[in-house]
Amino acid sequence: MSCDLILALDYPTSAAARPLLRRLNGSLRWVKIGLQMFSAEGPDCVRAIAGEGFKVFLDLKLHDIPNTVARAVESLSALPIGMLTLHTAGGREMLAGARAAQAQANPELLLLGVTVLTSMDAAGLAEIGVTGAPDEQVARLAGLAADAGLRGLVCSPLEVAALRAQFPGGMQLVAPGIRPAGEGGGDDQKRVLTPAAAARAGANYIVVGRPILQAKDPGAAAQAVLAELA
């Protein structure tokens, strides 16, 4: 199974990301736009980056009442994006409504259900009333997302193998929390794995941000991850 790199563009503006994107154009296919850049520039940043030839994963983690999320999915489906996230914790009705809106507005768009954030561990889950281990909560939410018709999930790389066994078919698995071999910790990611290990576990995509963006040579760091996946 092949595994693609998605570069998380954790920049305040699309202009700040442009030098690195131009360096990687031709070798990198996917980029992720998150809340920081989208909050600053809105849909314009999506159009600008897609216009340079990249596939865009829009990571907004939608979570609201079912009608509001469905209408948001409908609006966002008009943008040049290939993936869009929503929180599986929003429940079956919210997920199914989002899926129905996406199927009608943009059948090619992949909705991704976010299970348990990679910044959370068992202690963090306990603080919000979830008494099970992270892998148990991930499996529960993943099953809910699949029942609602979603075809993709976001999970820690530590849960990829179990989800691949749970969904051996066409479920697309996207794994953030990736740290190249030798990369130190010290940030808010708690459940992490190397790119090669995540790929071997069955991830279709890995998301890498700070290990590339904060490297002395971000372009070389990105190419190293791509080489490891190849």
Q: Along the 230 residues of the chain, how does pLDDT read in single tens digits?
A: 689 999 999 999 999 999 999 999 988 999 999 999 999 999 999 999 999 999 999 999 999 999 999 999 999 999 999 999 999 999 999 999 999 999 999 999 999 999 988 888 899 999 999 988 989 999 999 999 999 999 999 998 999 999 999 998 789 999 998 888 666 544 555 556 889 999 999 999 999 999 899 899 998 999 999 998 88
CATH of the domain at 170: 3.20.20.70
Residue 106 CB contacts under 8 Å (≥ 6 apart), including other chains = 77, 78
CA nearest neighbour of 102 among 84, 127, 80: 84
CA 114 to chain centroid, in Å, comes to: 8
* Domain tally, the chain: 1
What range does the domain containing 199 cover?
4-229
**Which residues are designated catalytic?**
61
